């Protein structure tokens, strides 16, 4: 079995789907790993780091890489033309975002490819080690606080110095899922006073265990599978009324709210930003899916009066080395149970594969109702 790892082609993508420390495990499992020359460069892994491992080949002919692969590991959906070059029956695993492109899914099926979208790996305890959404969200949550710190003209921690006493910064984290909890922990480590809120009241305890205060807006919107549902207009108004005061007092606001398969919920209004303290910073981690703040501009940093609004894109890639390492480990944990004596065979009776498969043996398994 040949597992191939191409260089990512999407603009701005710095991660790579395999790292040297995990490559050795694949080789031990009996597969040949082929990595495109330069694939790890932007994440800090040069060709040498791979080529010195027995059983790992560095391939400079990208057409050959795709044509001979039995399985391709990628971070983002590859270019369409690459599917045409693949062997019929070969596999593809990555962040395929199948809800975005019907024609891509059809092309996968026509080529009889076995394609798996890591976003759809079930969030059951057994599959936690494969959960790429969580590993990358944790990276983004951490980094969001560092981005805020860089733009804030103030300290995070309390300081008592000969030049006076500095009061600790106040941070507000909106959405306490995987990214939000990591943002809370990071802001606490830097010494800020942290408040957080979420529509899932179950997270209150987790927020408090990180030393932050849970803001209760009285709105509860927990949906199936531990996710949030969209709020009614009445609930939105209620939430906004409570939240406005907390936003106005914050030095840093980090927003991470998401609803699976939908545009990001709009939570921070223009009026709330106008009421923020001079010098305050808002980092909107939902920028790429429409933003939690009305004023966010995706991929930009801009000023609204005296407030800095940051809409970062590709945040996990800003920590490309560790993001790649965690992602590569997720992929290893996903694929290794299906490799026996160097041969790959997908176990379709297993919920992990049955749920994450997008196409297999010419059939589309991605349910139409998920294409919202
Ligand atoms: P997510 O990225 O889908 O959303 C981020 C957070 O935004 C969520 O906590 C959500 O409740 C919140 N949110 C949505 N609308 C909001 C609003 N209007 N106002 C405030 N907050 C809002 O979430 P996630 O980090 O992917 O986690 C989703 C769920 O999956 C959680 O219950 C989490 O514990 C669970 N999870 C389970 C596992 C596992 O068991 N393997 C792994 C990871 C996550």
Identify the residue whose tokens are 């099926």: 109
What is the pLDDT at residue 261? 73
From the CB of 155, is ligand 1 less than 6 Å away? Answer: no
Average the pLDDT over 85-101 and give the result.
95
Q: 166's torsion region: left (phi>0), alpha (psi -120 to 50) or beta?
A: beta
Helices within the chain (DSSP H only): 20-28, 47-51, 62-68, 80-85, 102-110, 132-151, 178-189, 204-209, 233-249, 270-274, 320-335, 351-356
Distance 38 CA to ligand 1 centre (A): 35
Ligand 1 site-directed mutation target among 243, 257, 334, most atoms within 8 Å of CB: 257
Question: Tokens standing for 346?
Answer: 């997908």
The string of pLDDT tens digits covering residues 285-342 is: 999 999 999 999 999 999 999 999 999 999 999 999 999 999 999 999 999 999 999 9
CB-based burial, 129-155: b 16+ in 10 Å, e otherwise: ebbbbbbbbbbbbbbbbebbbebbebb
The string of pLDDT tens digits covering residues 133-152 is: 999 999 999 999 999 999 99
What is the pLDDT at residue 55? 92
Find out whether 366 and 105 touch, Cβ atoms under 8 Å.
Answer: yes
Find out whether 90 and 3 touch, Cβ atoms under 8 Å.
Answer: no
Question: Residue 345: which pLDDT band, with cuts at 50, 70 and 90?
Answer: very high
> Length of the chain, please?
372
From the CB of 125, is ligand 1 less than 6 Å away? Answer: yes
Distance 266 CA to ligand 1 centre (A): 16
Q: 304's torsion region: left (phi>0), alpha (psi -120 to 50) or beta?
A: beta
Ligand 1 site-directed mutation target among 136, 177, 200, most atoms within 8 Å of CB: 177
From the CB of 295, is ligand 1 less than 6 Å away? Answer: no
Question: Residue 169: which pLDDT band, with cuts at 50, 70 and 90?
Answer: very high
Distance (Å) of CA 102 to CA 107, 289, 351, 368: 9, 19, 24, 10
Cα 96 to the chain's mean position, in Å?
13
From the CB of 283, is ligand 1 less than 6 Å away? Answer: no
What is the pLDDT at residue 9? 96
**What mean pLDDT is reported for the chain?**
95
What is the pLDDT at residue 108? 97
Active site members: 123, 128, 131, 134, 227
The string of pLDDT tens digits covering residues 11-33 is: 999 999 999 999 999 999 999 99
Cα 82 to the chain's mean position, in Å?
24
What is the pLDDT at residue 226? 81
From the CB of 258, is ligand 1 less than 6 Å away? Answer: yes
Average the pLDDT over 196-225 and give the result.
92
Question: Residue 262: which pLDDT band, with cuts at 50, 70 and 90?
Answer: confident
pTM: 0.95
Return the percentage of the chain with pLDDT > 70, whole number.
Answer: 99
ipTM field: 0.95
How far apart are alpha carbons 145 and 162 in whole angstroms? 28
Distance 260 CA to ligand 1 centre (A): 9
- SS3 state at 24: helix
> Among 32-41, 110-119, 220-229, where is mean pLDDT lowest?
220-229
Question: Tokens standing for 257?
Answer: 């709210």
357 bridge partner residues:
116
Question: Residue 372: which pLDDT band, with cuts at 50, 70 and 90?
Answer: very low
Question: Is pLDDT above 70 for 369?
Answer: no
From the CB of 132, is ligand 1 less than 6 Å away? Answer: no
From the CB of 226, is ligand 1 less than 6 Å away? Answer: yes
Give the ligand 1 atom nearest the CA of 231. 18
How far apart are alpha carbons 4 and 67 in whole angstroms? 10
What is the pLDDT at residue 368? 62
């Amino acid at each position: 079995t040949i597992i191939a790892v191409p260089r990512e082609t999407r603009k701005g993508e710095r991660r790579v789907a395999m790292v040297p420390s995990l490559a050795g495990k694949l080789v031990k499992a009996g597969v040949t790993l082929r990595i495109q020359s330069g694939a790890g460069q932007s994440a800090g892994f040069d060709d040498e780091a791979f080529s010195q491992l027995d059983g790992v080949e560095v391939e400079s002919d990208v057409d050959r890489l795709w044509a001979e692969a039995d399985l391709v590991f990628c971070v983002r959906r590859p270019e369409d033309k690459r599917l045409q070059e693949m062997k019929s029956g070969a596999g593809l695993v990555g962040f395929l975002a199948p809800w975005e492109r019907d024609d891509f899914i059809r092309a996968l099926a026509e080529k009889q490819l076995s394609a798996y979208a890591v976003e759809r790996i079930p969030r059951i305890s057994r599959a936690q080690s494969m959960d790429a959404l969580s590993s990358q969200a944790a990276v983004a949550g951490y980094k969001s606080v560092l981005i805020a710190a860089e733009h804030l003209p103030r300290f995070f921690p309390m300081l008592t110095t000969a030049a006076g006493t500095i009061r600790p910064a106040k941070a507000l984290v909106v959405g306490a899922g995987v990214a939000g909890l990591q943002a809370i922990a990071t802001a606490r480590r830097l010494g800020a006073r942290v408040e957080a809120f979420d529509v899932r009241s179950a997270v209150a305890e987790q927020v408090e265990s990180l030393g932050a205060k849970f803001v209760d807006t009285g709105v509860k919107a927990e949906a199936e599978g531990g996710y949030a549902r969209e709020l009614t207009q009445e609930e939105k108004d209620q939430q906004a009324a409570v939240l406005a005061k907390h936003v106005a007092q914050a030095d840093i606001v980090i927003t991470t709210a998401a609803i699976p398969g939908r545009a990001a919920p709009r939570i921070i209004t223009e009026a709330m930003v106008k009421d923020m303290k001079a010098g305050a910073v808002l980092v909107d981690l939902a920028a790429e899916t429409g933003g939690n703040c009305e004023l966010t501009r995706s991929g930009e940093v801009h000023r609204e009066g005296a407030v800095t609004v940051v809409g970062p894109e590709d945040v996990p890639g800003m920590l490309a080395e560790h993001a790649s390492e965690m992602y590569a480990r997720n992929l290893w944990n996903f694929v290794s149970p299906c490799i026996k004596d160097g041969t790959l065979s997908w176990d379709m009776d297993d919920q992990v594969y049955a749920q994450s498969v997008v196409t297999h043996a010419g059939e589309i398994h991605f349910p139409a109702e998920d294409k919202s």
